[in-house]
Chains A and B, each alone.
Chain A
Amino acid sequence: DVKVTQSSRYLVKRTGEKVFLECVQDMDHENMFWYRQDPGLGLRLIYFSYDVKMKEKGDIPEGYSVSREKKERFSLILESASTNQTSMYLCASSQPGTGRYEQYFGPGTRLTVT
């Protein structure tokens, strides 16, 4: 089974802090994704990466950056956390080119910025 792990389940940070959320997958997937989930808004794509060191902006990249130095690890960085970034953050991975498009999700990190 594919396993996607996220570094923290719950995180509390102060406004202005730099925040790192890490995601690791163990199935050698090429694609990795970061979403945020807010009530009534569903999942919104922040960034995705289709290869090491490659990234593309999603729908809401402002205030975030990402890093993918190794295939299995995809980090989301909040350069200067703000209260409107309080949310659930979900990481996912998928393998393109196999005809299987489903994404495998981690358990999520609930981030609170105070």
Chain B
Amino acid sequence: SQQGEEDPQALSIQEGENATMNCSYKTSINNLQWYRQNSGRGLVHLILIRSNEREKHSGRLRVTLDTSKKSSSLLITASRAADTASYFCATVRAYNNNDMRFGAGTRLTVKP
């Protein structure tokens, strides 16, 4: 069963704007990850945040995690047309590091 649920399902913005995607999950986690998928391709790992972390940065990416609300957000700043892709959150369950579950994804379109 899916663990994470992304919101919104689709997002369309202009180049230069910020994009925010949210993820909610249900069980206790060891960590949460975000992946990107370009159309018709495999997924690429973007960033991982552990359950004892609240915020993490990587280049133009900022991830937050609120374990009390069981939610995470991914912020992409100063978006570019090349950021157009689907973004998935994935949760690794506490006590079972092999159990990683993906959400349905957010489709981001960045218009030039």
Contact = CB atoms under 8 A, between A and B. Distances in A.
B97 A42 contact: no
B92 A101 contact: yes
Nearest to A6: B42
A65 interface: no
B33 A108 contact: no
Contacts of B97: 96, 101
Contacts of B25: none
| Size class of the contact patch on chain A | 20 to 34
B48 A101 contact: yes
Interface stretch (A43-51, A67-75, A79-87): A43-51
Interface in B39-53: 40-45, 48
Contact of A42 (B33, B42, B88): B88
Given A40-B104, A59-B1, A101 B31 contact: yes
Interface of B: 1-2, 30-31, 33, 35, 40-45, 48, 88, 90, 92, 97-98, 100-105
Interface of A: 4, 31, 35, 40-45, 48, 50, 56, 59, 88, 90, 92, 96, 100-108, 110
